[in-house]
C-alpha cells in the first residue's frame, strides 16, 4: 500500500451561516495524481487553504506528512509550505522579470548558500525538464499562454516540492495546448516523483492526468474513484452533469 501523504477526516468549515465543508474525508497517496472536481464555490480553495494552514477547520483533522496542520507553529508551517508547490491559474510570473529571474527569485528567497553556478545549473535543468531552455532570457510577455504555464510549473518545481497543487491548469488554453499541459503534469510526476492535486473543471484534463477523481458536492466528497468508476456509474445527477456538460453539451 502506498504511503499516505494527506489524510483528511470529518473536516468541517463554515463562515457564519455558510456551511462550506461538511465532513470531508480523503486520502492522498504518494505519487498519485488526484483530481478535485467541484462547481464554483463548492469549497475547493477552502480545503487547500486548510491544507497549507491559511485557514483553520472548525472540526475534523487535516494531516499532511503525518502532522495535523492546525497544530503546527509558524516555523513548522513555513517548512510545510515549502514542501507544497502551488501552481496558480495565471502562472504567477512576474512580468518585469526574465524567465531566469522568475525562476531565481524563489530560490534566492528560500534557499540559502547556493552559489551562482548552482542556481544557474538548477534553472537550466528545470527549463530543460519543461522543454523550454531557449526561453531563459525572455520576458513573460514574449511567451505563449502554454509556455507561461510551463514556466510557472518550472518555477514551482524549483524548490523541490513533494506535493504539487495545480489550480485550473488548463483554464483559458486551446485544446492542443491543454493536452500539452496535461502531458506536462504527468511528466512532472514521473520525473520528480511528486504527489499532485489537480483542481479542474476540464474533464479531459481530469481523465488524462488523474489516477483518481474526487467530486466535492454539498461540502463532502460524494464520489471518489477512477474516472470510469466516478462517471460511468454516476448515480448522483449532479456528478453526471459534470460529464454531460464537458462531453455532450459543450
Ligand atoms: N475567508 C472567507 N470568509 C467568508 N467566506 C469565505 C471565505 N473563503 C471562502 N468563503 C466562501 O466559501 C465558499 C467556498 O469558496 P471556495 O473559494 O473554496 O470555492 P471554490 O470551490 O474554490 O470555487 P472556484 O471554483 O470558483 O474557485 C464560497 O461561498 C466563498 O464565498
The answer as to whether 123 is a domain residue is: no
**Has residue 9 been placed in a domain?**
yes
| Ligand 1 pocket residue status of 54, Cβ below 6 Å | no
Atom of ligand 1 nearest to the CA of 38: 21
CB atoms within 10 A of CB 12: 16
Radius of gyration of the chain (CA): 18
User: What does the pLDDT read at residue 226?
Assistant: 93
Atom 17 of ligand 1, residue of closest alpha carbon: 45
Residue 107, CA distances (Å) to 48, 101, 151, 198 in order: 23, 10, 15, 24
Whether 132 contacts 123, CB under 8 Å:
no
Q: What 8-state DSSP symbol labels residue 63?
A: E
Residue located nearest, by CA, to atom 27 of ligand 1 = 40
Burial class (CB in 10 A: 0-12, 13-18, 19+), 127: buried
Among protein residues, the one whose CA lies closest to atom 25 of ligand 1: 40
Is any atom of ligand 1 closer than 6 Å to the C-beta of 42? Answer: yes
Which pLDDT value is given to residue 166? Answer: 94
What is the biggest distance separating any 2 CA atoms in the chain, rounded to whole angstroms?
57
Which atom number of ligand 1 is nearest to the Cα of residue 16? 4
In a domain, 18, yes or no: yes
In this prediction the pTM is 0.91
Residue 98 burial (C-beta neighbours within 10 Å; 0-12, 13-18, 19+): middle
Ligand 1 neighbourhood includes 16 CB (under 6 angstroms): no
* Crossing angle (nearest 10°) for helices 116-129 and 175-192: 130
Q: Which residue is closest in CA terms to ligand 1's atom 9?
A: 46
Domain that holds residue 188: 4-96+159-249
Q: Strand 84-87 relative to strand 163-167: parallel, antiparallel, unpaired?
A: parallel
The atom of ligand 1 lying closest to the CA of 167 is 27
- What ipTM is given for this predicted complex? 0.97
Q: Which residue has the cell 514574449?
A: 142
Q: At what angle do helices 175-192 and 145-157 cross, to 10 degrees?
A: 20
* Count of CB atoms situated within 10 Å of the CB of 17: 5
**Residue 48 resides in a domain:** yes
Domain count, the chain: 1
Residue 113 belongs to a domain:
no
Q: Whose CA is nearest to atom 26 of ligand 1?
A: 40
**Ligand 1 pocket mutation, candidates 21, 43, 58, 218, criterion most atoms within 8 A of CB:** 43
Handedness of CA 185, 186, 190, 194 (dihedral sign): positive
Q: Strand 18-29's sheet: what is its strand order?
A: 18-29, 4-15, 59-64, 67-68
Residue 122 lies in a domain: no
Residue 216, ligand 1, Cβ within 6 A: no
Q: Where are the beta strands (DSSP E) in 124-228?
A: 163-167, 195-199, 212-217, 220-225
> Quick check: CB of 219 below 6 Å from ligand 1?
no
Q: Over the chain (250 residues), what is each successive 10-residue block's mean pLDDT?
A: 92 97 97 94 94 96 98 95 83 90 91 90 95 96 92 93 94 90 95 95 93 94 91 79 64
Burial label for 150, CB within 10 Å (0-12, 13-18, 19+), is buried
pLDDT of residue 1: 65
Please give the distance, rounded to the nearest whole angstrom, from the Cα atom of residue 207 to the centre of ligand 1: 25
Q: What is the CATH number of the domain that holds 180?
A: 3.40.50.300
Domain assignment of residue 111, yes or no: no
219 C-alpha to ligand 1 centroid (Å)? 11
Q: Is residue 75 in some structural domain?
A: yes
Ligand 1: which of 15, 50, 56 to mutate, most ligand atoms within 8 Å of CB? 15
- CB of 43 closer than 6 angstroms to any ligand 1 atom: yes
Amino acid at each position: 500500500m502506498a504511503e499516505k501523504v494527506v489524510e483528511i477526516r470529518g473536516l468541517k468549515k463554515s463562515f457564519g451561516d455558510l456551511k462550506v465543508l461538511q465532513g470531508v474525508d480523503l486520502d492522498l497517496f504518494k505519487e498519485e495524481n488526484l483530481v478535485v472536481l467541484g462547481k464554483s464555490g463548492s469549497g475547493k480553495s477552502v480545503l487547500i487553504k486548510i491544507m497549507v494552514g491559511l485557514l483553520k477547520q472548525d472540526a475534523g483533522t487535516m494531516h499532511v506528512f503525518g502532522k495535523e496542520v492546525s497544530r503546527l507553529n509558524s516555523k513548522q508551517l513555513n517548512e510545510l509550505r515549502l514542501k507544497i508547490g502551488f501552481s496558480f491559474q495565471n502562472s504567477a510570473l512576474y512580468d518585469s522579470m526574465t524567465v531566469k529571474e522568475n525562476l531565481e527569485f524563489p530560490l534566492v528567497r528560500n534557499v540559502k548558500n547556493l552559489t551562482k553556478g548552482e542556481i544557474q545549473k538548477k534553472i537550466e535543468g528545470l527549463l530543460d525538464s519543461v522543454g523550454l531552455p531557449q526561453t531563459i532570457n525572455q520576458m513573460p510577455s514574449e511567451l505563449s499562454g502554454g509556455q507561461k504555464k510551463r514556466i510557472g510549473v518550472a518555477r514551482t518545481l524549483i524548490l523541490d516540492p513533494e506535493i504539487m497543487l495545480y489550480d485550473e491548469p488548463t483554464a483559458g488554453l486551446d485544446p492542443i495546448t491543454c493536452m500539452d499541459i496535461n502531458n506536462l503534469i504527468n511528466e512532472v510526476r514521473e520525473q520528480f516523483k511528486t504527489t499532485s492535486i489537480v483542481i479542474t473543471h476540464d474533464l479531459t484534463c481530469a481523465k488524462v492526468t488523474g489516477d483518481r477523481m474526487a467530486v466535492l458536492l454539498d461540502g463532502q466528497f460524494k464520489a471518489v474513484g477512477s474516472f470510469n468508476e466516478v462517471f460511468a456509474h454516476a448515480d448522483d445527477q449532479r456528478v453526471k452533469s459534470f460529464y454531460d456538460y464537458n462531453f455532450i453539451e459543450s
